Chain A
Amino acid sequence: MSNLGFALEGAWKVLAAGLILGAGLPALFALGIRALAFGAGGDAEVNGGRPHRTGKVMAYALFAIVILGVLLGITFIVASGFGKTISFEHIVPTIVDK
């Protein structure tokens, strides 16, 4: 296989991971903000709706998922500094030797 083949093979993997983590997590964060506004009601929403408690709960659940994603990123940076990497082989991320 030529260099171009190897590069395209790497590129689509980076694109897939990028779309899930780099566009998916921000979208979840946006959902969290929307839920928070729904929870706050009043002038947080354009239509000035009533406050809803469920909105707040949903918002914090979504923010928790986003924070987990960020922690995964930090773990990867720290781990690769020590010559380790994160394996997704068993779905649950585990730190293994490179």
Chain B
Amino acid sequence: MSAALRAGNSCRVTETTVILALVVITALGFDFTNGFHDTANAMATSIATKALRPRTAVALSGALNLAGAFLSVEVALTVTNAVVRIKNANGTPKASLTADGGEALLLIVLAVLVGGVVWNLLTWLLGLPSSSSHALFGGLIGATVAGLGWSGVNWNGDGSKLDGVIGKVILPAVLSPVIAAIVATAGTWLIYRVVRGVAQRFTDTGFRWGQIGSASLVSLAHGTNDAQKTMGVITLALIAAGDWHSTSSIPWWVKVACALSISLGTYLGGWRIIRTLGKGLVEIAPPQGMAAESSSAAVILASSHLGFALSTTHVATGSILGSGLGKPGALVRWRVAGRMATAWVITLPSAALVGAATWYLAHLVGGLAGAAVIVALLVAIAALMYGRSRRTPVDRTNVNDDWHETQREGV
């Protein structure tokens, strides 16, 4: 081998390593936004009914997410297989994508993550509980179409099982809030029926305890499900770059980093989203809170038992809405519900657009410079959104203030 060629090779290796490092850091950033975006799913109702003080609630949820993330021993490498065709059946990336030292695949993964983080931050700024999994899948679809063409995406499966974008992402998203709302409506109605004649002072204490228990289950389930997705993405990137070869295990540092990242995010608490879910959608009393969290826990666990993947966010929102429908005379703000539904519908295409645009930009600039440009752009956008959020800060001190529908949350 000539000296020049060797130098060229080692240069490529270092370049890939730096892009890989950018992918890992951005993936951990996504995991972090995933954490604070979803604190509300488990804890919004407990904070709104004052079953837990805000700081205690986020600490409990963060700790349970950490425990949950360590509990997931299974590898979620095949998580993307149902949606895009970038990997073989066993979870290893396709050879054609790793031919150049893995750069082609790493750029797609990086664009996916940038798309996911941007969408998570924007919806957080607006106080809208949108699904982090949808943001990830949206980015994945967009970057794959941009990088590999329309045939790179598995749109409808082959009809032998629930598969493809429609079967694994769109249909569950339409059905899950409805299922959760029906269960929570039934639960709330039953609870109010059963405790008729018991003094409110007495029921409130009891149901606050029930609420803490059911919310804790939701947090634990969230840790096992969601941290695993990022672990799978990072491991995929490591395999693409040739730094990891096993498809049945993941490096321990990936597990530790992802677990810490999601639980830190959870502990930070996405107060804007907690406020919307806890105060904006429905005025919640402890019995409703317990019905909502029990419904969420049961629907999430039952669906993962049956292999019917649902978004925690869609389930939790449906449950809280149901707890408003089941209590006679309760206040449900349909305008807030409508805003959330709109956010859900546009999440997938928007994250796809961001993912595709990011991939084109990275591809245009090319190589390491391209990767660096899109990460720098992500940091700039994140800083801009954080700055914007400081104009109307929402934190643990004002998260439970009365909701005025005329106020413009976020922007």
Cβ of B175 and Cβ of A7 under 8 Å apart?
yes
Are B220 and A19 touching (Cβ within 8 A)? no
Given contacts A7-B167, A43-B199, A73-B217, contact A1 B159 (CB under 8 A): yes
Which secondary structure dominates chain B's binding surface?
Answer: helix
Given contacts A2-B159, A3-B157, A47-B197, contact A23 B186 (CB under 8 A): yes
Cα distance A18–B72 when bound, in Å? 23
Name which of A22, A30, A32, A77 has the most chain B CB atoms within 10 A of its CB. A22
Q: State the A residues within 8 Å of B (CB).
A: 1-4, 6-8, 10-11, 13-15, 17-23, 25-27, 29-34, 36-37, 40, 43-47, 66, 70, 73-74, 76-78, 80-83, 85-86
- Which one of B41-49, B55-63, B232-240, B290-298 is at the A interface? B290-298
B202 CB to nearest A CB, Å = 4
Pairwise interchain contact B175-A22, C-beta atoms closer than 8 A = no
When A3-B156, A23-B186 are in contact, do A30 and B195 touch as well, CB less than 8 Å?
A: yes
Specify the main secondary structure of chain A where it touches its partner: helix
A7 vs B310: C-alpha distance in the bound complex, in angstroms? Answer: 11
A17 to B302, Cβ gap below 8 A? Answer: yes
B217 — which chain A residues lie within 8 A by C-beta?
70, 73-74, 77
B304: chain A residues within 8 A (beta carbon): 80
Residue in A11, A25, A31 whose Cβ sees the most chain B Cβ within 10 Å: A11
Contact of B198 among A37, A80, A86 (CB under 8 A): A37
B224–A3 touching, CB < 8 Å? no
A63 to B175, CA, bound (A): 32
In the bound complex, do residue A13 and residue B190 qualify as a contact, i.e. CB atoms below 8 Å apart? Answer: no
Cβ-defined contact, A17 with B298, below 8 A: yes
- Cross-chain pairs A/B with CB under 8 angstroms, 12 sampled: A3-B156, A3-B167, A18-B302, A19-B182, A22-B187, A22-B294, A22-B295, A33-B203, A43-B199, A45-B202, A81-B72, A82-B71
Residue tally, chain B, CB below 8 Å to A: 61
- Bound CA–CA A26/B203 (angstroms): 13
Determine how close the nearest CB of chain B comes to the CB of A23; give it in whole angstroms.
Answer: 4
**B residues 196-226 touching A (CB-CB < 8 Å):** 197-199, 201-203, 206-207, 210, 213-214, 217, 220-221, 224
Alpha-carbon separation in the docked complex, A8 to B171 (Å)? 9
In the complex, chain A residues whose CB is within 8 Å of the CB of B163: 3
Contact B197 A81 (CB under 8 A): no
Contact residues in A for B184 (Cβ distance below 8 Å): 22-23
CA distance A1 to B213 in the complex (A): 40
The 3 closest A-B pairs by CB, nearest first: A22-B298, A81-B71, A23-B187
Task: Flag if B171 contacts A18 (CB, 8 Å).
Answer: no
In chain A, what residue has the closest Cβ to B168?
A3
How far is B183's CA from A15's CA once the two chains are assembled, in angstroms? 7
B90 CB → nearest A CB, Å: 16
Most chain A CB neighbours (cut-off 10 Å) among B217, B290, B298: B298
Asked if B74 and A10 sit within 8 Å, CB to CB, the answer is: no
Q: Are A26 and B220 touching (Cβ within 8 A)?
A: no
CB of B254 within 8 Å of the partner chain:
no
Please report the C-alpha to C-alpha distance between residue A91 and residue B29 in the assembled complex, in whole angstroms.
44
Chain B residues with CB under 8 Å of A81's CB are 68, 71-74, 224
| Known A23-B187, A44-B202: A82·B298 in contact at CB below 8 Å | no
Q: Which residues of A contact B161 (CB under 8 A)?
A: 6
Minimal Cβ-Cβ distance residue in B for A44: B202
Contacts of A2 in B (CB 8 A): 159
Least CB distance, A79 to chain B, in whole angstroms: 9
Asked if B298 contacts A46 (CB within 8 A), the reply is no
Q: B171 touching A27 by the CB < 8 A rule? A: no
13 new A-B contacts, CB < 8 A, other than A21-B294, A34-B198, are A3-B167, A7-B171, A10-B162, A15-B182, A22-B297, A23-B294, A27-B194, A31-B194, A32-B206, A33-B195, A33-B202, A37-B198, A73-B297
| Residue B384 lies at the interface, judged by CB distance under 8 Å to chain A | no
* Alpha-carbon distance A43/B205, docked complex (angstroms): 14
Given A18-B302, A23-B187, A74-B220, decide whether A11 and B175 contact each other with a Cβ distance below 8 A: yes
What are the residues of chain A within 8 A of B164 when measuring CB–CB?
3
Q: In the complex the two chains form, what is the Cα distance from A37 to B207 in whole Å?
A: 13
A44: which B residues are within 8 A, CB to CB? 198-199, 202
Choose one: B157, B159, B162, B191; the contact of A26 (CB below 8 Å): B191
Q: What separation, in Å, do the CA atoms of A2 and B186 have in the docked complex?
A: 30
* Residue of B with least CB distance to A16: B302
Q: Which of A4, A6, A26, A73 has the most CB of B within 10 A?
A: A26
Q: Are A27 and B167 in contact (CB under 8 A)?
A: no
